[in-house]
Structure 1
């Protein structure tokens, strides 16, 4: 949604509740925007989040605040003069309701990315009307109700009552559309009186009925179709565009075969939509390639694969449909028709009274048209000569720009997704704090840190041998199951997994984030690892065990390497912890006296193992660690 809608919310919330409440709801809704720009596009959920935040600190409901926001927008857009546009739609509130879609089309030049809803009336009487609202946005029903209340009250001086009759969700063009049917109760007697007078005037008119052919001669690009969406009549210029036997091609054919609905946007080309949106300006694109396909010739020596790939003969030359879609062939460009749908009650059909949209006289050859093909009445020829039909061309340009913008937004979203996956992969290799420093431009050497005291743990999987390919595959599967289980335990105990090398799992606590309880954290996670391995169900059914060694002391850490860089630890503490693991036994946790002295009394049980000969260290006093709950 555009920022103007959120600007109105901010202005009136600050006016009604104060700046402090506005700051509170921004914080509660976790909205990262503090100022909204009129022409900037923001996520749709922001408005609902603001309403939810207001609900949490006041007594009103979420729906009440969405209604309030709708009223705020109507009050706010009067500052831009948009209330005059509404007043100019007609004398009555019903006139405005019938022309809402036309107003949205008018505003698309200023707000090209606007995803406007569609509205039409199905029943009108002296007490009001039934309004059908269609939108791709969900959760804005009460917002619309607030807008209608405020427009009826302040612009048309009416008291309006709104009742929701039905809410349903359908799907069109791969998008979910919410459809809400409202009953609007208001004083509509003046509109009905005017409508009755018009109808009575037509009934008493001395004019006699005339043939539809007269309309089709007046509108040479007009199209007549019935409730089954079958073409039952065409203007002479449409028949000429269709080529040989044009009339036979078009009559009793589905209109959607040769014509594509471009506007109103977001609706399907159906009888119901064209009937109820009679007051809305329609734009339909004549698909010229469909006419040319029917005269296509199979190229000699070329295997025919499908209708879309079949080449078309134009002036004795074979042209591919792809070339036509690029509008590269003069005289065969699609024609955009713009006009109004008019219902003919006597024959239960709709006629599309339209004219081609032409930018200037230089475009006529590309369309295969001439000035004398245009309507003899009205200003069609004069507008082409003067180049006045820029409005529709600008809309087409905006459509293309909007499509490119949507593609760009999708690419940005995809980029964010892959960036997040890349971050997750990077943070699994290097601590977040270190990775962020490297991203900011720091050299790898600057990430080196010295820690006065950390606790390092080595854990080895034991209990199987890999002598064959099958054994190796079983080993990989088992290691994946066990190490994935260990990974899930690390964050619970504030322990950082350093690496796995073969069947060895290395972890540290107290680095890179310093902690005074690093020895406790390593011991706690080691006890859990022993328990989980005993309880873990290995897919292959292999029974495995672990032997763990732990030592505490100073260490140095840093990122090493260019390809596949790793966050590594160096120092005598690492070597000693590795020796503690290699001299441990299956199912046991082997800790040094240094680590034991860092553990609180009473939390763990120890068993003195005595002096143990460690390679490169000589004899050291070591202990077995047990959970205090184990008897």
Structure 2
């Protein structure tokens, strides 16, 4: 489907439900598109997935959202002036229903890849009508009902009640077609009155004497007259001429020499033709079935058509050729001819006449179809359209090419925008916790991020054993710090620990803030012991022996975002100072914890050793402990 249908959905969902609901629907439906381009073709399943996602988010039904999407499209296409086309179709709502297929055919010029459904009426009365809807798409029944409701109410000022009489899926050729019969109840009295008045006027003022059928076929040189058995009983003069002369088409079955192109998804039957009498038909003349005998060729009446394995083939000069292969441009004068026009029922002879003319897009196509300008209807605009198309077709094609190129560039730009947005988010979340950063994005003041925590656990870890006296020593120190701290960074997320910062050779981390956790002391001790093991196993490029000393303390803190340039999420309070003192009084290769941290650890998970009283600056002598891991206790 074209992007305009999905544009309408996005616009009205954001308008009525908000952008947050729309973004959730995109994520839940796994839709990779964030913006839809009007003339770009998208997979059909996107609309159904969006309806299912919105139904799940809002606890409404899938059918109600498909109905809502149909109404959205009718409201939305007024922006493009398409409502004017509907208003100009006819005086009554029934006139519009009879001409839906014709509207789709006209829009095929702007939307050449459109796979439009087919609609026709089978019963019309003063209380409404029965509408038959045929489409290759499945699951769009309520979408169509929404469209009909909105057109009736907004354009024709009618109250419409729609019900489904029957619904079935049939297979025609290789296509699965969904056929739905709707009963549309509305005030149709004006349409019925107009039809009765028209019939009465016709009987009183338009009684004409019979005239020869040959005159009608002369006026419409490509017309086809056939009976209820689909047997050709008359042809226009030019059609006979391009068929090779003679009476090759007379008394032959229409489907033998003609293929139905539009309306799509229906069989070429008498019933369908009568039901769709108001719809424009496109029928293709199969030139492969009418190849004239050429001088010097072996094409004879006996060997013209041979049925091989169920496929009709043509033998020319001893070679078998598929009739459809003759459509190629390499076969001048043998290309199939596309006829476009209307079926009219002649009740006095119980026959249908197809009043049509050939579809010629460009003057260069005339030789391929063995046609000339004087073959076209003299009373129509066929010649003018061919000549105008020849002058403007190249410009129009160039405009479409540029539009498609710009649409592709726009899609690529949006893809790059998403990529850089993700990179920006990753960089922001590396400096500020995600929950805090999201609060700032909503426009809240940085001061609003400042909050207090009753108890967290803070760890300081320092690299020891370096003597940075020369430039080479400093370079080795930087390389070693990068290797060790990168290792630490890969561990903290695993244990739900937040890295605060690194200052010189000191690495600071916290658990319990900004995401609260009851196991903050255990998380810090687990990651500290894991760091010890990994440092011992780490291969340093310079071969320098690396050792760390770690200090841990638990207590209350205050945290918040500080700074405008390179902002940081910082922690303040006596707990931070005490944890730093625990690290500075620790020993290489040891994890030094305070009494407050030890009391918050689960029993029997670690091996602890009383270090005794240790003098901490500003604290005096306090009891501290060494902590070790039990075998298999920490992964």
- Does the CA contact (< 8 Å) of 1:71 and 1:150 recur in 2? yes
Q: Could you tell me which residue of structure 2 aligns to residue 311 of structure 1?
A: 315
2:345 alignment partner, one of 328, 343, 350? 343
Residues 120-139 of structure 1: pairs in structure 2 closer than 5 A: 120-139=120-139
- How far apart in 1 are the matches of 2:139 and 2:229? 34
C-alpha displacement of 1:268: 2.7
Aligned positions of 1:603-614 closer than 5 A: none
- Mapping 1:195-594, distance limit 5 Å: 195-204=195-204, 205-243=206-244, 246-247=246-247, 249-292=248-291, 297=298, 306=308, 310-312=314-316, 324-359=326-361, 363-384=365-386, 387=389
* Partner of residue 21, structure 1: 21
Q: Is the CA contact (8 Å cut-off) linking 1:164 and 1:182 kept in structure 2?
A: yes
CA contact under 8 A between 1:359 and 1:390: conserved in structure 2?
no
C-alpha distance 394-125 of structure 1, shift in aligned 2 (>3 A): farther
Structure 1 residues 235 and 53, CA gap change in structure 2 (3 angstroms):
same
Which secondary structure does the structure 2 equivalent of 1:27 belong to? Answer: helix
Shift of 1:297: 3.0
Higher alpha-carbon deviation: 343-352 or 14-23 = 14-23
Aligned-residue offset at 1:309: 5.2
Change beyond 3 A, Cα 1:375–1:47: closer
Deviation sequence 1:315-348 (CA, Å, 0-9, x none): xx98956773323343333222121111112222
User: Structure 1 residue 191: deviation in Å?
Assistant: 1.1
Deviation at 1:236, TM superposition (A): 2.1
| Contact 2:117–2:136 (Cα < 8 Å) also in 1 | yes
**Which sits farther off after the overlay, 199-208 or 72-81?**
199-208
8 Å Cα contact 2:152/2:158 also seen in 1:
yes
Per-residue deviation at 1:367? 2.4
CA distance in 2, matches of 1:132, 1:40: 29
- Residue segments in structure 1 that go unaligned for 5+ positions in a row: 403-449, 451-515, 518-553, 557-596, 601-631
Q: How many residues align?
A: 404
The structure-2 alpha-carbon separation of the partners of 1:147 and 1:346, relative to structure 1 and needing over 3 Å to count, comes to: same
* Cα pair 1:285 1:336 within 8 Å, conserved: yes
In 1, the alpha carbon distance for the partners of 2:63 and 2:148 equals 15
Partners of 2:147 and 2:233 lie apart in 1 by: 41
Compared with structure 1, are the counterparts of its residues 318 and 239 closer, same or farther at alpha carbon in structure 2 (3 Å cutoff)?
farther
Change (3 A) 1:382 1:122: same
After TM superposition, give the deviation of residue 180 of structure 1 in Å: 0.3
Cα distance, 1:118 vs. partner? 0.8
Q: Do the aligned partners of 2:226 and 2:353 also contact (CA within 8 Å) in 1?
A: yes
Equivalent position SS for 2:89: coil
CA contact (8 A) 1:359 1:389 kept: no
Q: Structure 1, residues 378-409: CA drift from partner, whole Å, max 9, x if none?
A: 34445445557989x999xx9xxx9xxxxxxx
Alpha-carbon distance change, 365 to 70 in structure 1, aligned in 2, over 3 angstroms: closer
Give me the whole-angstrom Cα distance separating, in 2, the residues matched to 1:203 and 1:209.
14
C-alpha distance in 1, partners of 2:337/2:6?
39
**Change beyond 3 A, Cα 1:347–1:12:** same
Structure 1 stretch displaced more, 28-37 or 93-102? 28-37
Q: Secondary structure at the match of 1:22?
A: helix
The 8 Å contact of residues 25 and 53 in structure 2, kept in 1 or not, is answered as: yes
Shift of 1:149: 0.5
SS of residue in 2 equivalent to 1:232: strand
- Counterpart-to-counterpart distance in 1, 2:382 and 2:24: 57
1:283-340 deviation line (CA, Å, top 9, x unaligned): 21211120127887369xxxx9958554337xxx989567733233433332221211
> How many Å separate the matches in 2 of 1:171 and 1:371?
41
Structure 1 residue 200, shift from structure 2 partner:
1.4
Q: Whole-Å Cα distance in 1 between the matches of residues 396 and 272 of structure 2?
A: 25
Q: Which residue of 2 aligns with 1:3?
A: 3
Distance 1:389 1:131 in 2: 41
Structure 2, unpaired ranges of 5+: 301-305, 405-486, 488-528, 531-536, 540-629
- Contact 1:243/1:291 (<8 A) preserved: yes
Aligned 8 A contact 1:297 1:310 in 2: no
CA distance in 1, matches of 2:307, 2:191: 59
Query: Structure 2 length as normaliser, TM-score?
Result: 0.57
Residue 140 of structure 1 is matched in structure 2 by 140
Asked if 2 retains the 8 angstrom alpha-carbon contact of 1:358 and 1:389, the reply is: no
- Give how far 1:91 is off: 1.0
Secondary structure of the corresponding residue to residue 103 of structure 2: helix
Q: What is the SS of the residue equivalent to 1:346?
A: coil
Q: How far apart are the structure 1 equivalents of 2:98 and 2:391?
A: 25
Q: Which deviations, in whole Å up to 9, do the C-alpha atoms of 1:252-278 show, x marking residues without a partner?
A: 211111112222233332223222222
- Cα distance in 2 between the residues matched to 1:325 and 1:261: 16
Contact map agreement 1:48 1:66 (CA 8 A) in 2: yes
Change in CA separation of 1:15 and 1:333 when aligned onto 2, cut-off 3 Å? closer
Superposition RMSD on alpha carbons, in Å? 3.8
CA contact (8 A) 1:383 1:389 kept: no
Contact 2:3 2:38 in 1 (8 A): yes
Q: Which residue of 1 aligns with 2:41?
A: 41
For 2:118, the equivalent position in structure 1 comes to: 118
Tell me if the contact between 2:55 and 2:62 (Cα under 8 Å) persists in the aligned partners: yes
C-alpha offsets along residues 513-556 of structure 1, whole Å, 9 cap, x if unaligned? Answer: xxx99xxxxxxxxxxxxxxxxxxxxxxxxxxxxxxxxxxxx999
The answer to which of 250-259 and 46-55 deviates more is: 46-55
Rg comparison, structure with higher value: 2
Point out the more displaced range, 78-87 or 17-26: 17-26
Structure-2 change in CA distance of 1:357 and 1:84 (3 Å): same
Matched residue, 1:178: 178
Query: C-alpha distance in 2, partners of 1:199/1:119?
Result: 25
Partner of 1:12: 12
| Deviation at residue 281 of structure 1 after TM alignment | 1.7
Helix, strand or coil for the counterpart of 2:226? strand
Q: Could you state the TM-score of these two structures normalised by the residue count of structure 1?
A: 0.57
Pair 1:32–1:358, CA change in 2 (3 A): closer
SS of the residue 2:289 aligns to? helix
Moved more, 137-146 or 226-235: 226-235
Distance in 1, matches of 2:273 and 2:214, equals 21
Q: How big is each residue's C-alpha offset from its partner over 1:426-448, in whole Å with a ceiling of 9 and x where there is no partner?
A: xxxxxxxxxxxxxxxxxxxxxxx
Task: Note closer, same or farther for the CA distance 1:275–1:329 as it changes in structure 2 (3 Å cut).
Answer: same
